[in-house]
């Protein structure tokens, strides 16, 4: 498949805005908490566009896609930690911190609390898994380096 110079230019120019939109979805989602799953899919679609236009080898050289499996595992680990650490503290599963009535740290309008970390974990798990899958389809002959 051949691509035109315009197609390559548009694909290059769209990657950063797509990742920025994914970050916006991650932070705000449908409500104020965020939406890590949709943000992960949007980010993976931005990477998929790069694979379609430039091919697997060029993307592997330009983007850190070799770390995608590690990103997915880190995301799953974070989600599991946010889910089950409250049990160790004697609280129910998925108890939010800070609790009701406690002071919440803000960055602008974003409240830093455990649901935000949970969404970041979901984002990392989804984006890492989908990009790993795409990379495996695009470059089936590449062996993993033990990651």
Work out the pLDDT band at 2, boundaries 50, 70, 90.
Answer: confident
Q: Contact, 19 vs 46, CB < 8 A?
A: yes
DSSP annotation of 139: -
pTM, two decimal places: 0.87
Q: What is the mean pLDDT of the chain?
A: 89
For residue 40, which of 16, 19, 10, 64 has the smallest C-alpha distance? 19
Residue 147 has pLDDT above 50, yes or no: no
pLDDT for the residue numbered 30 = 57
Please state the rounded mean pLDDT for residues 88-117: 84
Q: In this predicted structure, which of 12-21, 57-66, 138-147 has the lowest mean pLDDT?
A: 138-147
Residue 29 has pLDDT above 70, yes or no: no
The residues spanned by each domain of the chain are: 5-138
Q: Contact, 52 vs 138, CB < 8 A?
A: no
Work out the pLDDT band at 32, boundaries 50, 70, 90.
Answer: low
pLDDT for the residue numbered 144 = 61
């Amino acid at each position: 498949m051949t691509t035109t110079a315009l197609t390559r230019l548009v694909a290059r120019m769209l990657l950063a805005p797509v990742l920025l939109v994914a970050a916006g979805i991650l932070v705000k989602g449908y409500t104020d908490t965020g939406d890590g799953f949709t943000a992960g899919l949007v980010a993976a679609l931005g990477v998929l566009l790069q694979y379609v236009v430039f091919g697997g080898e060029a993307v592997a050289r330009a983007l850190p896609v070799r770390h995608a499996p590690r990103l997915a595992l880190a995301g799953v680990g974070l989600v599991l930690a946010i889910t089950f650490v409250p049990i160790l503290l004697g609280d129910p599963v998925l108890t939010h911190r800070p609790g009701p009535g406690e002071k919440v740290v803000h960055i602008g309008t974003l409240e830093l609390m455990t649901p935000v970390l949970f969404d970041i974990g979901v984002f990392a798990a989804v984006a890492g898994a989908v990009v790993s899958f795409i990379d495996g389809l695009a470059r089936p002959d590449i062996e993993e380096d033990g990651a």
